A and B are shown apart, each in its own frame.
Chain A
């Protein structure tokens, strides 16, 4: 069915009661009282302390591993190495290239070699330091060029290329021959740390001999279950995974969740005791996956009318030690390589390479942050060359209904990027603020960035979601999904969808935390799919439950089903106001009459087609679009940039909760400012040299700009509940180019590397900017 039409087709309402209205989050009070429970708050005294022994070499063979001294330390219970792994000593996400505990070879500084288990933190620390690892060091590759050199040592057996991707659409050379202006450039983006405030953590306890429960910080409870079961050599139903409230994730905990959980679970199972692994900030910053760095070479042509004629892109993705999410990242970058613009001739080559560094992983915006930084920088440079306004150039080329993406996907609905661009241009009074403004050593500039971001898995890989809802005997509802609450509030969005459909009050809902023993797999909380897919599964469950409720009410009221109205937790007959009943009574009647008070929902988007040879096909079910205008002030003497104001706009399909969307937009602005101006994990010979929040600097409250009211464009996606599309990831993508283009406008310096630190900008100005 077309879920965006639920309102008209089924509810028969002109106005939504809950969907589209901002509410107070159902979890906010507990959080404000400090009573919300995160994983570490569950850990009981007497729990075994687990710590990891990490590789100190970026690339080496393990010659000898001696745990005997560590085992002598009082309070030490066990030291486990790869040889002790009962199941599979392999935990690679997309490719089997990642040992769970390295037993033959290490691939980066921070690769886990063993886990130590002790009665207390001090004994565990001492044991960690007492494990003797003798290495046979190998040459290491730290850069893309080093690892692609002909004589480079192989990091993994198959060589240093993890995978490649491509698009061949039209004829780029012909396209370039039609161009009046061409620009070319190489854009580099760094490792970015998620810097979630809650460090990674897992707490596991055995339940009898053949079952273990893991409570942890994660984004995909069922992925964690799969990995834990794999390491233990157990069936899936022997592992119960509970996602506790998670203190920020931004993609990172999708990768770390399985890794820390499996270690805690292995310790708990082997020792028959509760065990916990709690990272400190050093481990989080130095050893957990980061935003994949990439180097994107872009060549773009535009004709005299400002129409894009061709784009040629070469993407080099630096995986670090393991591929992890690299296939998905690279595919996403490949398919989005033209930005939200139609280009008739597209040629993309992507290569993901291994290096001996901390590996990359999921991070809000996925590869699209880097891609749109490159594309939108080019749009401004092209506009400059053509003498055309950057907004005008974008509007001429922007994707609209009937146009085709880089992978030749025809967009037949739900395309709101033009409205986003026009919206931010108007709100910011673009023509006016583009006028040059300099005062003393300060110069102001304004720039625009854009974004498109596919919902769900890449390349048409199968995707689905599940949910369940129970109407309890007292008229209250229990909602379950394994889509995780990470701060973004997606499960609350689900509950609002369910409440709207079944006509319940929000207060009647309790949202259970994800628990793999009590629900079907809703799949991960990533890929901007949590609301669009997870929420639609919720809608499916709600529609089934609603049918039971309506049937029962119709029987009781002796009226037609389509005359039943459900709202505010009351059932009534539209024709006879005297016929009404609170949900409490209705629930009771349903139970005694044998009407099913519970429903599972399931959703899978329409099938897609994708040809890996040409890179053409239907890549994603839908796209979220965004545009941002940013105003900066540059201190020409110091190179410092102050972000003065941001104007955000997004095509969200349907705003289920505008306040939650604002929260995503504001948070993404801060992450975007961070990577645009200050954030970068720095390495020296594979070692992270800024592994703390003192030297890995993220924006503080004082770095917060003024943010204009969000412009929410609503172009519903036909197949999702009420038409909603994901917002958290797309929100960050347009921020970086908006900032860099504003700096370009202010100073004449177009940066192709971020972060644009004061020092870098100062040096660039010295070299011949303004």
Chain B
């Protein structure tokens, strides 16, 4: 569905995207995560057809996005930095979108009005940040897009509204095979909705896998040995982090659960407990391995 190949973008002397590759399957929810300045918003603006890449291809359903209004008519982009025309109400904005998006549906606009509970006659610029976000989702979903590109979409929404909005989006995914690419720093939330994850760092996609695969390839291990962690284990395991709490060794290890378990068991541990990692922990440990360390302050 979405194919990004070797995309390079420079802003003057600064290399913002350094050969980005992304694959998003139709009907999937793809989470794009990465540290600040990794290039997430930049690649998203390319996907929305706003920026033009210096090099590489960006295609959706096999077509280039840039200057392709027919394709862009099927894409809804909700940015982190929303813009509404001065003096425009949500109703005015809806009327404007109606004249621009061919698949706009008044019925859909009315249908989901109950979810947002905002008076459509209110001036969009006078709404709170969270309400403006709601308005942006309201308008975007009413355009019946096949692809939604979301940049920090839930920022500013309360927990209830987050659930409501995700419910609406996921319902569309289930009903119409809508594809979603979402960038967020709220990894806990992404963990619940994404089926694929791309971790971006320094203008590149460092890891791109299914969520289960990402999470299944890195584990937190709590173990203890009579004479400490055996040296052969230190060598054979790909240990990302090692902490010792009393006689217990806390390890973050990359590899399959079975393989790690077998190697440790061969060394006769006194205790062995393997705990699944959250996406946030995966993010921290994976990027830690790439030089983006978690600093302990104070």
Q: A and B: real partners? A: no
